[in-house]
Amino acid sequence: MNAAAQPININDDDKTAIMSRRTMVQASSALLSTGLAGLSMAQQSVAALPAGDTLMAPDDPAPVFMRVQLQVNGKRYPLNIDGRTTVLDALREHCGLKGSKKGCDHGQCGACTVISGGRRINSCLTLAVMHEGGKITTIEGLGTPENMHPMQRAFVKHDGYQCGYCTPGQICSAVAMLGELKADYVRTARSKGLPERDVIGRHVMRNALLPFVTIVGLMMANFIGGTVVTESVFTYPGLGRLLIQAISTRDYPLIQGCILFILVVFVLINLLVDVLYAYIDPRIDYG
């Protein structure tokens, strides 16, 4: 025979915990319902506005419009735009040049790359007012379907378009990179009789490493944060899973230790990036 079920005794602490969880669920549901209702009312209010009107907080300053003249693909574009407008938005929304694409909008994907003054730039990270009178070349200025740039023909020949969304930025980056081989410092290195391998490896590639090192340093924060999710989902032993367990058991000293260790690692990574800057580019001097 099965033993009689034993009654479960719940002490005051357990009752408090149960009530706390129940209260938390009720409060979360109430907040969610309130937020959805507020969002619906806000959408209805915006839809009821006359065409052209926008909602602005009373204390928000009005946008400052500035007159800017951009020289894009050999053509001048006089613009009257918000001073916060990026080059990418100016090209797409005001100049009608849709070739440059907006991808991550953080300067990491490269879909927005254009050529400014012979150098490739991420147009989503620079303001249009900073390029007053400057020469900008987009994918539209490199060639046409009837008369393509050699780099465009190479992409077509070798099927390098893939989905095509990032292709304009890739082509502009490749064109600017090859144009870098004609820079003065490259000609100087070649005039010294250096082998082509040393010219490319020790001079050209070192200058191209700075943005790469910067992005890698910034992405390390994502890698460290990703360990928490990865180790928790796949039950891998590690710092991320240890931190989650410490939070679950309210082990505050262990939580502080894990967070402090992550902060120290992140600071050391950024310090290493700064040191690499000076090593890669001798013009950078921290003294």
pLDDT in tens, 224-259: 778 888 888 888 888 888 888 888 888 889 889 988
Q: Tell me the sheet residues that pair with 136.
A: 72, 116
Question: pLDDT band at residue 8, thresholds of 50, 70 and 90?
Answer: very low
Least Cα distance to 125 among 107, 150, 148 occurs for: 107
Instruction: Judge contact between 155 and 215, C-beta under 8 A.
Output: no
Q: Check residue 51 and give its pLDDT.
A: 56
Instruction: Judge contact between 285 and 278, C-beta under 8 A.
Output: yes
DSSP 49-85: SPTT-----TTSPPPPEEEEEEEETTEEEEEEEETT-
Q: Check residue 11 and give its pLDDT.
A: 52
Percent of the chain past pLDDT 70, that is, above it, reads 78
Angstrom distances, CA of residue 76 to CA of 85, 121, 252, 276: 18, 20, 62, 40
Rounded to whole angstroms, how far apart are CA atoms 90 and 79? 8
Rounded to whole angstroms, how far apart are CA atoms 208 and 212? 7
Q: Check residue 57 and give its pLDDT.
A: 53
Name which of 75-89, 162-176, 184-198, 224-238 the model is least confident about.
224-238
Q: Check residue 58 and give its pLDDT.
A: 55
Q: What is the CA radius of gyration of the chain?
A: 28
pLDDT of residue 92 exceeding 90, the answer is yes
Helix (H, G, I), strand (E, B) or coil at 95: coil
Helix (H, G, I), strand (E, B) or coil at 44: helix
Rounded to whole angstroms, how far apart are CA atoms 113 and 136? 11
Rounded to whole angstroms, how far apart are CA atoms 10 and 159? 69
**Pair type for strands 65-72 and 135-137:** parallel
Q: Check residue 29 and give its pLDDT.
A: 66
Instruction: Judge contact between 137 and 172, C-beta under 8 A.
Output: yes
Q: Check residue 183 and give its pLDDT.
A: 82
Contacts of 145 (CB under 8 A, 6+ apart): none
Q: Where in the chain is the domain with CATH 3.10.20.30?
A: 65-180
* Over residues 31-43, mean pLDDT: 63
Run of H or E including 114: strand 113-116
Q: Check residue 10 and give its pLDDT.
A: 45
pLDDT in tens, 172-189: 988 988 888 888 888 888
Q: Check residue 19 and give its pLDDT.
A: 43
pLDDT in tens, 48-60: 656 555 555 555 6
pLDDT of residue 209 exceeding 90, the answer is no
Contacts of 130 (CB under 8 A, 6+ apart): none
Least Cα distance to 165 among 99, 213, 117 occurs for: 99
Question: pLDDT band at residue 95, thresholds of 50, 70 and 90?
Answer: very high
Q: Check residue 60 and give its pLDDT.
A: 60
CATH architecture of 65-180: Roll (3.10)
Rounded to whole angstroms, how far apart are CA atoms 80 and 69? 9
Token couple for 263: 């902060």
Name which of 1-15, 138-152, 241-255 the model is least confident about.
1-15
pLDDT of residue 47 exceeding 90, the answer is no
pLDDT in tens, 15-35: 444 445 555 555 566 656 666
Q: Check residue 1 and give its pLDDT.
A: 46
Give the chain's mean pLDDT: 80
Higher pLDDT: 190 or 220? It is 190
